[in-house]
A and B are shown apart, each in its own frame.
Chain A
Amino acid sequence: MKYVDEFRDGELARVLAGRLARAVEPGRRYNFMEFCGGHTHAISRYGVTDLLPKSVNMVHGPGCPVCVLPIGRIDNAIALALERGVTLCTYADTMRVPASGRTSLLKAKAAGADVRMVYSAADALRIARENPAQEVVFLAIGFETTTPPTAIVILEAERQGLENFFVFCNHVLTPAAISNILESPQVRDIGTVPLDGFVGPAHVSCVIGSAPYEYFAEEYAKPVVIAGFEPLDVMQAVLMLVRQVNEGRHEVENEFSRAVTRDGNARAKALVAEVFELRRSFEWRGLGEVPYSALRIKSRYGRFDAERRYDIVYRSVADNKACECGAILRGAKTPKDCKLFGTVCTPENPIGSCMVSSEGACAAWYSYGRFRDEEAAA
């Protein structure tokens, strides 16, 4: 496959591994966070860690949309489906996220709620159009990549004069989460999460461009290299980060220039600006309340806002006590630090959100056997 196979080439991977081995300075440790779950997945799936020098440590970040959605918001969605009788449409990954009291959207569906899995926001709009007597709510989640499609369907609903279509908006913002991590005491003061740089998001950057990261690179003196999702992309990005660290630079570099520009997708950004505005604060699973980190629907489009329509009241709910997702999402722990990992908690029966989506750190570790390798090596 074009643009895939050549970026997974094993021969070139060894060339890059050799180059990296020569680039690292003896006695120096390099800690890089891959923000995106897509990178976490690629690193686990292709065994990228095995090709990196021992002194390079990859820390998983919170960039998995399903993992950061707080329990209380899923409880809200389940209540809409079970108690208000709406047709609730959502992306497949959201279905199995554990909510309060061992429920999930999937279990609500089994209990008779009308919950439908959709591939795209446009499918939710179509369901509303085809069922005018039924109130249809789209549970919108995700980072900057899924926000423009949600804006499109809200504008379309207005154009088509739909009165039975609503959006429960949970869209969150990547730059706010990166700031939150850099501001956290573990990174700033205690130093339990040393971070020397970031592998920047692939698809999110297609939309927002590379410019938004310039602030972090400058303000926190941390290099950022935007990388594609293929294994060679990640290795090249790590090499570029190592070189920046060695040379004392902290710049934004773009390894994924085949899809990412400095300014991103102008049309997508304009649509989002038309429909959404910043929330003062939003709770993230793992990170807690993060200021100005999420979007809500502008009052101009308020009649499509499920939060208004159903007077949704948010209540924060704590995670299962033994679940370490929170610390994992902040980069402070890894899945193997969790007692439930692989025993009580598996992808078939996830206890925490990091085990649900294939981009979640726990699911990626579980599926690609990293934990077994580590045990064998220990």
Chain B
Amino acid sequence: MCLAIPALVVQRFERDDALIDLGGVRKRVSLALVPDAAEGDYVIVHAGYAISKLEPEEAAKTLALFAAIDEAPA
């Protein structure tokens, strides 16, 4: 249930319905819980409902943290 990967919002329809793309697989989900998600945004989908929007800047910060050059060991 919890293994959803981030999905791209391809198209929004009426009543918070949307078409999303999960790595090539397309699905209809509800955006009722993230009403401000727009086409082109990435969302986390759980059991047919998007529950959170992904923030590209925060993602970039986390990735930068992984890749940061380590200080020389003392």
Chain A contact residues, CB within 8 Å of chain B: 1-4, 6-7, 9, 12, 15-16, 18-19, 22, 36-38, 41, 65-66, 91, 93, 119-123, 142, 145-146, 148-149, 152, 202-203, 206-207, 229, 232-233, 236, 255-260, 265, 267-268, 271, 357-359
**In the bound complex, do residue B58 and residue A257 qualify as a contact, i.e. CB atoms below 8 Å apart?**
yes
**Closest 8 A/B residue pairs (Cβ):** A120-B48, A206-B52, A38-B2, A258-B59, A258-B58, A3-B6, A257-B58, A1-B23
Give complex CA distance A272, B3 in Å.
Answer: 22
6 residue pairs A–B, Cβ–Cβ below 8 Å = A3-B59, A4-B6, A18-B70, A121-B47, A145-B1, A206-B51
> Which B residues touch A41, using CB under 8 A?
3
**In the bound complex, do residue A2 and residue B73 qualify as a contact, i.e. CB atoms below 8 Å apart?**
no
**In the bound complex, do residue B3 and residue A236 qualify as a contact, i.e. CB atoms below 8 Å apart?**
no
> Which B residues touch A19, using CB under 8 A?
70
Question: Which of B4, B54, B55, B66 contacts A232 (CB under 8 A)?
Answer: B66
Is B53 an interface position by the 8 A CB rule? yes
Question: Which of B47, B51, B54, B61 contacts A3 (CB under 8 A)?
Answer: B54
> Which B residues touch A259, using CB under 8 A?
44, 52-55, 58
B71 to chain A minimum Cβ distance, whole angstroms, is: 10
**In the bound complex, do residue A15 and residue B46 qualify as a contact, i.e. CB atoms below 8 Å apart?**
no
**In the bound complex, do residue A229 and residue B30 qualify as a contact, i.e. CB atoms below 8 Å apart?**
no
**In the bound complex, do residue A145 and residue B2 qualify as a contact, i.e. CB atoms below 8 Å apart?**
yes
B contacts with A, residue count (CB < 8 A): 36
> Which B residues touch A91, using CB under 8 A?
1, 47
**In the bound complex, do residue B5 and residue A1 qualify as a contact, i.e. CB atoms below 8 Å apart?**
yes
**In the bound complex, do residue A16 and residue B66 qualify as a contact, i.e. CB atoms below 8 Å apart?**
yes
Is B9 an interface position by the 8 A CB rule? no
**In the bound complex, do residue A265 and residue B33 qualify as a contact, i.e. CB atoms below 8 Å apart?**
yes
Give complex CA distance A121, B58 in Å.
Answer: 31
Give complex CA distance A259, B46 in Å.
Answer: 13
Contact with A along B26-66 (1 / 0, CB 8 A): 00011011110000001010111101111110110111011
Give complex CA distance A233, B32 in Å.
Answer: 27
**In the bound complex, do residue B47 and residue A4 qualify as a contact, i.e. CB atoms below 8 Å apart?**
no
- Nearest B residue to A255 by beta-carbon distance? B62
A205 to chain B minimum Cβ distance, whole angstroms, is: 9
**In the bound complex, do residue B46 and residue A145 qualify as a contact, i.e. CB atoms below 8 Å apart?**
yes
Question: Which of A38, A65, A265 contacts B3 (CB under 8 A)?
Answer: A38
B21 to chain A minimum Cβ distance, whole angstroms, is: 10
**In the bound complex, do residue B44 and residue A206 qualify as a contact, i.e. CB atoms below 8 Å apart?**
yes
Question: Which of B1, B29, B54, B65 contacts A357 (CB under 8 A)?
Answer: B1
> Which B residues touch A206, using CB under 8 A?
44, 51-52
Is B20 an interface position by the 8 A CB rule? no
> Which A residues touch B53, using CB under 8 A?
259
> Which A residues touch B49, using CB under 8 A?
120-122, 148-149, 152
- Nearest B residue to A149 by beta-carbon distance? B49
> Which B residues touch A267, using CB under 8 A?
33-35
A368 to chain B minimum Cβ distance, whole angstroms, is: 13
Is B8 an interface position by the 8 A CB rule? yes
**In the bound complex, do residue A236 and residue B51 qualify as a contact, i.e. CB atoms below 8 Å apart?**
no
Question: Which of A3, A16, A146 contacts B46 (CB under 8 A)?
Answer: A146
**In the bound complex, do residue A265 and residue B55 qualify as a contact, i.e. CB atoms below 8 Å apart?**
no
A369 to chain B minimum Cβ distance, whole angstroms, is: 18
With A93-B1, A259-B44 given, name 4 new contacts (CB 8 A).
Answer: A12-B66, A145-B1, A258-B62, A359-B1
Give complex CA distance A91, B49 in Å.
Answer: 13
- Provided the pairs A3-B59, A257-B55 are in contact, do residues A142 and B6 lie with their beta carbons within 8 angstroms? no
**In the bound complex, do residue A122 and residue B44 qualify as a contact, i.e. CB atoms below 8 Å apart?**
no
- Nearest B residue to A148 by beta-carbon distance? B33
A29 to chain B minimum Cβ distance, whole angstroms, is: 22
